Amino acid sequence: MHVIIAGNSESDGQEVVRKIKEETLTGKVEFLYCDLASMKSIRQFVQEFRARNCPLHVLVNNAGVMLVPERKTEDGFEEHFGLNYLGHFLLTNLLLDTLKQSGTHSHNARIITVSSATHYVGKLHLNDLQSRCSYSPHGAYAQSKLALVLFTYRLQHLLTANGSHVTANVVDPGVVNTELYKHVFWVVKVVKWMTAWIFFKTPEEGASTTIYAAVSPEVEGAGGCYLYNEERTKSADLAYDEELQRRLWTESCKMVGISDEASRLP
């Protein structure tokens, strides 16, 4: 595979590229800068990617922040919602044409979006998606992860209605020992440090279901699934609300400034 790593740290990205080349002895990996907290950066990334005239068979949406203090992205969005959700929403939509051109009847292009079990307790406040009325780091994070599940299900519906050879699935990686927890309360950090080797997955273990969704023949042609430990499982009941999916999609298009093509589909 030709792998393109998108990230907001040039130095970290280039270091990962170096390690992958060293371990796999392949030159088919590169880094492109993309800050998912910036709509401008996302659009620039897509332009750079398109300039390469590469097909796109697998898109993995796997960026995020968790429990950050109340703050906004450069576009004025609450950071959890703006980065975790809207950034991926815009990136995916801007790359959809390339994905559709790359998929075939026997080998669908695949979109994998990483959510979290936190979505089970999430609530979607359509009248206050930016958490302006009442901000809670836990609530904002859970809402962003629920939004990713709703987005994936709506996206799959639209792809199917369009006859596209592209599938969209959502992954729960489990509790993984990464830097994502740097904003939690210090007591939680201590407990995490003491128990991580028992209860937390390593990053490699946490990536297993994402890789399964990206390359396994078992999910070829299957979309609209919630995957955990490499198995299809049930997401939150609220995530199956098709009216909520539709309303979130329409509102998201307005927020990121793209046309709602869904309105022209059955």
Instruction: For the chain, state the CA radius of gyration.
Output: 18
Backbone angles phi, psi at 7, to 5 degrees: -160, 170
Place of tokens 């280039």: 14
How far apart, in whole angstroms, are the C-alpha atoms of residue 242 and residue 245? 5
How far apart, in whole angstroms, are the C-alpha atoms of residue 152 and residue 169? 6
CB atoms within 10 A of CB 226: 21
Yes or no: say if 118 and 141 are a contact pair by the CB < 8 Å rule. Answer: yes
> Kindly report the CA angle at 95 between 68 and 27, in degrees rounded to 5?
90
Q: At a CB cut-off of 8 Å and minimum separation 6, what does 108 contact?
A: 165, 166, 167, 220, 221, 223
Residue 231 is encoded by which pair of tokens?
């198995």
- Residue 141 among the catalytic residues: yes
Residue 77 is encoded by which pair of tokens?
């969005």
Q: Which of 85, 120, 141, 226 is catalytic?
A: 141
| Residues with active-site annotation | 141
